Structure 1
Amino acid sequence: MDNHNASPQALGYLYQVQCALLFLLNSEDEDIKVCIEKFDDISFHKDQNVIEQLQLKYHSKDGNITNSSVDFWRTLKVWIDAINADVTLLDSTRFYIITTNSIATDSVIEKIKKVNKNGEDKVDEIYNELRQIANDGLKNCDQKSQNHKFYSAFINFQENRAKSLIKSIVIIPDFYQPSEINACILRRIKPFTLSKTEHHVFETLTGWWYGKMILCLQNPQPTFISFNDLRLKISTILSDLSENTLPIDVTEKEITALASESNVQNILKQMQLINAKKSKINNAVQSYYRAYAQRSKWLKDALLYSDELDEYDERLNREWEFQFNEITDDLEDDSPEEQKVEAGKELYKKLMDKDIPIRSNLNDNTISRGSLNGLSNELKIGWHPDYKKRISGIEE
């Protein structure tokens, strides 16, 4: 089917991806799998059979599908080629045209929609009308025109197969616009989420879905995503949002954005006071960027309780104070500088090795490391026993 793989408009591709997610979310069959092989071709599979083939036609402007519409005849040719390659598709497959456009009144397409919706037996009449349209089209269009090869394909298609195809076509006009698709997806996941987390769940789920769809299109072999894959992903996202944990989902782009706006001079000074190597200084700065970008994202996504970050920083401060007092207890003001530097190194190592989670089941100490370095940047804590005096001239 490679000859049907035309370069799409970006919006059309995104629309297809959105629709595939919505349709799979709406499925009530746990054994269903979705596959996107081409830019306007979605298929649903069960037990190794194709049960639905969907052709999505997105148009940013209003319009009608008429008897000579390229969308309709191109779609017929796609299906004719598929059936000629595998005639068993006619045994169990429903063929969908889903379009944002309307259907022209009194068109043969309107007849197909009504007949199959109401179960009317007018297949012979529709078949003859389609052949007439195709024959007239061949007489009136140039051989190089798009519709010429589409009309020819239908004329040369076996009559019994053509009639079976007509019986299996489902046409859904006036379908949702992209913004409406997103609203439908959000409504679908809303019952499983809290109001403050529903947008985070939506963003995380759709981000994962877009990544999966890109892999589908890059893979030369058909790639399937099952309803159970989707359900498992939603379950994982929700479990990350329990009261005992938080998602670690900050992106490199968000980290870079924070880094460009940050002043980390005091982190550098703190590390230099304990003679830290360049690599350790770099680790300290990077941990700060990563932790604070994640903290900012939690706040943006409304995933934290009121004052939760302040309470967390207070816990970190208390732990620092305990360790600071333990390690500097034997030091005097006139103790040798070497001893003070070693004490600072020991304090820093102890706190960096210690996991102090913001929530009990969040097993990622990058947050505690980066948050501690953030507190050191504010001079609320430090590593060298005389850090305040050395950096800002404040006597303890």
Structure 2
Amino acid sequence: MISYTLKIHTEHTAGPQLIGFDYQLFYFLYLSLDLDPGEKLGFEILDDIHIEFPNGNIELLQLKHTTQTNGSGEKINLTERDSDLWKTISNWIAFVNVAEDAEKYILNTSFTIVTNKSIDSNGFLKNLAKLQVGELDIKQMNGYILDLFSGTTDKVLKEKINQLIKLKQKVKKSFLCKIKVVSDQENIISLIKGRIHKLIRRPERIDDVFNAFYTNIQVDKFLTIAGREKFSITFEDFSNKYKTCFDFAYASNNLPIRNLPLIFPDDLKEQLFIKQLIEIGETDQDEEILNYTTAMLKFFNQLKDWVNEGDLLETDKSNLDKDAIITWQRIFKEKYREIKKRITTGAALEDLEEEIKECAIACVNEMRREKLNIKSNELTEEFSNGQFYLLSNEPVIGWHIDWEKKYKL
């Protein structure tokens, strides 16, 4: 079967238009992440997007997104006779013309075009910038605009340029001085994630926060507009309504397990925790000693990595140590209860050595069945054992009833 696509399908696809709508919502989300107290962001109310400031001023934003590229694969330029540019200016002039006091309206309003097109070669915008800093006067700007008007045969474009020409001189200058164009050629999603990163400081959680935030904004926009209401967000709305989206940045989840290199000591049997185990007769086998050392080093490296990477705080590590020591104290007390009674009634320690070793081994065995937790994460048996080995290597815990005199300096 031959597969083909009709030319009309490629010419009239809604893809580019839909991307433009998506871009508008993404930019709304981008701006919402930078709202200040008292500010309000509106979607498709006064313009594509508008911002209301506490002092009563308003910024109108028109978003112009393109998927078209030039021969080099770059986004097409926003030219001085670009239809999007003049359609936007025409719309804003209509707002000025219906205002009760045009000069006051312009004073309290700023006009912003946001586009992903390049603006570097746009003569209109270059002259606009010169006008705004006083390098060009309004008469010179008028002459340039008249040249634009006479230099095109496009009737629609002529009509829109003529609307600017017809503005009163003072109003025209004030209006032109309040226009700015932002060329955001970077991927808007990358810009949003950059702001999220700045807020949460946890790069590994950016996507989680982004997905939660975008989904909730999108649903709220749909339901609000479908209910024939205006969709807007204040700083306070953002803080109250969407704050849980940022919980993903700090929510407890499985700590990342990384494969980290192990550096073994030259003599495994010289480690304090191994000496303790050998003394009570728990082990003297090289293979077992290697396995115990591996468990200790794995957890030592992993714990250090979690702290270095910001997954854990030093206080989290301290809490783990405290929990492990409390667990050891409980087990140690239970296993040695009877022997301690006999010692207090006069039994000699050396006469109880074999029983002490049995209790010590029972302590170790009981300890190895314990599962420790750190920041709501249950450690594996190997890591839990590794933590107890670490503590007995320092040593802050031990197995023999007289371990402190024997090993603690």
TM-score normalised by structure 1 residue count? 0.51
Matched ranges for 1:347-358 at <5 A: none
Aligned to 1:34, the other structure's residue is in SS state: strand
Larger Rg: 2
Return closer, same or farther for 1:74/1:93 CA change in 2, 3 Å cut-off.
same
2:196 corresponds in structure 1 to: 186
1:79 corresponds in structure 2 to: 92
Return closer, same or farther for 1:111/1:59 CA change in 2, 3 Å cut-off.
same
Q: 1:122 aligns with which of 127, 130, 137?
A: 137
Return closer, same or farther for 1:202/1:114 CA change in 2, 3 Å cut-off.
farther
- Measured after TM superposition, the shift of residue 205 of structure 1 is 0.8
Aligned to 2:107, the other structure's residue is in SS state: helix
In the alignment, the residues of structure 2 paired with residue 238 and residue 174 of structure 1 have an alpha-carbon distance, to the nearest angstrom, of 26
Aligned to 1:103, the other structure's residue is in SS state: coil
Return closer, same or farther for 1:46/1:186 CA change in 2, 3 Å cut-off.
closer
Structure 1 gap ranges (5+): 1-6, 246-302, 304-396
Return closer, same or farther for 1:185/1:114 CA change in 2, 3 Å cut-off.
farther
In the alignment, the residues of structure 2 paired with residue 224 and residue 148 of structure 1 have an alpha-carbon distance, to the nearest angstrom, of 35
Q: Does 1:91 align with 2:101?
A: no
- Measured after TM superposition, the shift of residue 30 of structure 1 is 0.8
Q: 1:159 aligns with which of 169, 181, 187?
A: 169
Return closer, same or farther for 1:184/1:151 CA change in 2, 3 Å cut-off.
same
- Measured after TM superposition, the shift of residue 39 of structure 1 is 11
- Measured after TM superposition, the shift of residue 135 of structure 1 is 4.3
Which string of whole-angstrom CA distances, capped at 9 and with x for unpartnered residues, describes residues 168-198 of structure 1? 111222533334334334324432xx55543
Q: 2:41 aligns with which of 34, 53, 60?
A: 34
Q: Is the 8 A contact 2:106 2:175 kept in 1?
A: yes
Return closer, same or farther for 1:166/1:242 CA change in 2, 3 Å cut-off.
closer
1:57 corresponds in structure 2 to: 64
2:284 corresponds in structure 1 to: none
Q: Which amino acid aligns with 1:127?
A: N
Matched ranges for 1:218-257 at <5 A: 218=226, 222-239=230-247
Q: Is the 8 A contact 1:16 1:40 kept in 2?
A: no
In the alignment, the residues of structure 1 paired with residue 112 and residue 164 of structure 2 have an alpha-carbon distance, to the nearest angstrom, of 17
Return closer, same or farther for 1:218/1:123 CA change in 2, 3 Å cut-off.
farther
Return closer, same or farther for 1:47/1:26 CA change in 2, 3 Å cut-off.
closer
Matched ranges for 1:247-286 at <5 A: none
1:112 corresponds in structure 2 to: 128
2:213 corresponds in structure 1 to: 205
- Measured after TM superposition, the shift of residue 31 of structure 1 is 0.9
- Measured after TM superposition, the shift of residue 220 of structure 1 is 5.3
In the alignment, the residues of structure 2 paired with residue 85 and residue 159 of structure 1 have an alpha-carbon distance, to the nearest angstrom, of 17
Return closer, same or farther for 1:234/1:134 CA change in 2, 3 Å cut-off.
same
In the alignment, the residues of structure 2 paired with residue 234 and residue 114 of structure 1 have an alpha-carbon distance, to the nearest angstrom, of 42
TM-score normalised by structure 2 residue count? 0.50
1:131 corresponds in structure 2 to: 146
Q: Which amino acid aligns with 2:142?
A: Y
Which string of whole-angstrom CA distances, capped at 9 and with x for unpartnered residues, describes residues 205-254 of structure 1? 11111223335655656432112211223433345776689xxxxxxxxx
Return closer, same or farther for 1:160/1:212 CA change in 2, 3 Å cut-off.
farther
Structure 2 gap ranges (5+): 1-14, 70-74, 254-310, 312-409
Return closer, same or farther for 1:205/1:179 CA change in 2, 3 Å cut-off.
closer
Aligned to 1:65, the other structure's residue is in SS state: coil
Q: Which amino acid aligns with 1:107?
A: G
Which string of whole-angstrom CA distances, capped at 9 and with x for unpartnered residues, describes residues 72-95 of structure 1? 110111100111122333012111
Return closer, same or farther for 1:238/1:19 CA change in 2, 3 Å cut-off.
closer
Q: Which amino acid aligns with 2:183?
A: P
Q: Is the 8 A contact 2:79 2:122 kept in 1?
A: no
1:141 corresponds in structure 2 to: 154
Aligned to 2:185, the other structure's residue is in SS state: coil
Q: Which amino acid aligns with 1:128?
A: G
Q: Is the 8 A contact 2:60 2:110 kept in 1?
A: yes
Q: Which amino acid aligns with 1:152?
A: N
Return closer, same or farther for 1:11/1:187 CA change in 2, 3 Å cut-off.
same
- Measured after TM superposition, the shift of residue 157 of structure 1 is 2.7
Q: Is the 8 A contact 1:51 1:94 kept in 2?
A: yes
Q: Is the 8 A contact 2:78 2:118 kept in 1?
A: yes
Aligned to 1:95, the other structure's residue is in SS state: strand
Q: Which stretch of structure 1 is more off in the superposition, 165-174 or 48-57?
A: 48-57
Q: Is the 8 A contact 2:193 2:210 kept in 1?
A: no
In the alignment, the residues of structure 2 paired with residue 147 and residue 38 of structure 1 have an alpha-carbon distance, to the nearest angstrom, of 26
